[in-house]
């Protein structure tokens, strides 16, 4: 596996795992507090809609010329990736609350318990259905976006799809066994890594798509990815110092500071 393919697998796998953990929390809240049958129906419908979107957009992306694809998708990926990275830095530096699946689960259960019951056609509990459906679709759209853009740019959508499916299967199996939010998954650290990967690939592909030639071609990624990671860690350190907090940037990113 070359550098690009390895990075493609890692980025899609981590992004997908993070989103799958978040979707699992929502589905668990809907199922345990309301109605499992409706919640699972929502999951199945969400997955089917996602599948239709991917089936429609995926083949269209692969027909685009590589230069145009890298310019447009690289640019989108960079804008999208900078959002992830910015929020990951804010979390690691203490300027934004860390993502906590347990508290999200409690909030979802409280909201679900207070919502009125209602039946529509084959759906026994409409609230559980829509909560699960939206959770799967919205979290899944992020994964589909990352998997399709990475896969199309690397001309390897099957590898991106494999990484995405592997992450979802692992989270689903663990979720079924544990039957609780996967609060021990180091989500904040994973989001930081995904932010670094999205930004790095956005920079690399965006520049190539705009006509730039990287010194060392694909090997430039071996410099770009660590450089973006290091820069982000430095920014975390600077922000923490500004706020007067104690732990190091690396501790914060590893999620051990609180």
Partner 1 sequence: MPRQVRAFVGFWYDFIVGDDWTVAVAVIAALALTYVVSTTSIPAWWILPAAIVILLPMSLWRVAHGSSGSSTDEK
Interface residue list for partner 1 (CB under 8 A)? 22, 71, 74-76, 78-80, 82-87, 89-90, 95-96, 99, 104, 141-142, 145, 191, 199, 203, 206-207, 209-215, 220, 224, 227-228, 231-232, 235, 239, 242
- In terms of CB distance, is 159 or 171 closer to partner 1? 171
CB of 117 to partner 1, least distance (A): 26
CB of 148 to partner 1, least distance (A): 13
* Integer-rounded Cα radius of gyration of the chain: 20
CB of 24 to partner 1, least distance (A): 14
Output the six-digit token pair for 228.
């973006």
Distance CA 4, CA 232 (A): 21
- In terms of CB distance, is 142 or 162 closer to partner 1? 142
Please, which residues have CB within 8 angstroms of residue 71's CB and are 6 or more apart in sequence? 206, 209, 210
CB of 83 to partner 1, least distance (A): 4
- In terms of CB distance, is 26 or 41 closer to partner 1? 26
- In terms of CB distance, is 34 or 99 closer to partner 1? 99
CB of 242 to partner 1, least distance (A): 7
Distance CA 85, CA 236 (A): 11
- In terms of CB distance, is 151 or 209 closer to partner 1? 209
- In terms of CB distance, is 66 or 227 closer to partner 1? 227
């Amino acid at each position: 596996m070359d550098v690009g393919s390895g990075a493609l697998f890692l980025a899609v796998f981590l992004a997908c795992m993070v989103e799958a953990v978040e979707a699992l929390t929502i589905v668990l809240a809907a199922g345990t507090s309301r109605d499992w049958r409706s919640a699972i129906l929502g999951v199945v419908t969400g997955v089917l809609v996602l599948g239709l979107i991917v089936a429609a957009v995926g083949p269209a992306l692969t027909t685009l010329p590589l230069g145009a694809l890298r310019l447009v998708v690289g640019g989108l990926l960079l804008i999208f990736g900078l959002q992830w990275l910015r929020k990951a830095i804010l979390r690691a530096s203490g300027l934004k609350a860390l993502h906590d699946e347990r508290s999200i689960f409690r909030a979802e259960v409280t909201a679900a318990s207070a919502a009125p019951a209602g039946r529509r056609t084959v759906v026994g509990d409409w609230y559980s259905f829509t909560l699960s459906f939206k959770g799967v679709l919205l979290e899944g759209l992020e994964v589909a976006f990352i998997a399709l853009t990475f896969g199309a740019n690397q001309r390897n959508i099957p590898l991106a799809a494999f990484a995405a499916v592997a992450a979802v299967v692992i989270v689903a199996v663990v979720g079924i066994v544990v039957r609780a939010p996967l609060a021990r998954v180091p989500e904040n650290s994973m989001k930081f890594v995904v932010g670094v990967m999205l930004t790095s690939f956005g920079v690399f592909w965006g520049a190539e798509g705009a006509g730039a030639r990287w010194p060392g071609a694909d090997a430039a990624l071996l410099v770009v990815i660590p450089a973006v990671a290091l820069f982000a860690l430095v920014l975390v350190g600077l922000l923490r110092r500004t706020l007067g907090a104690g732990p190091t940037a690396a501790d914060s990113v590893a999620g051990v500071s609180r």
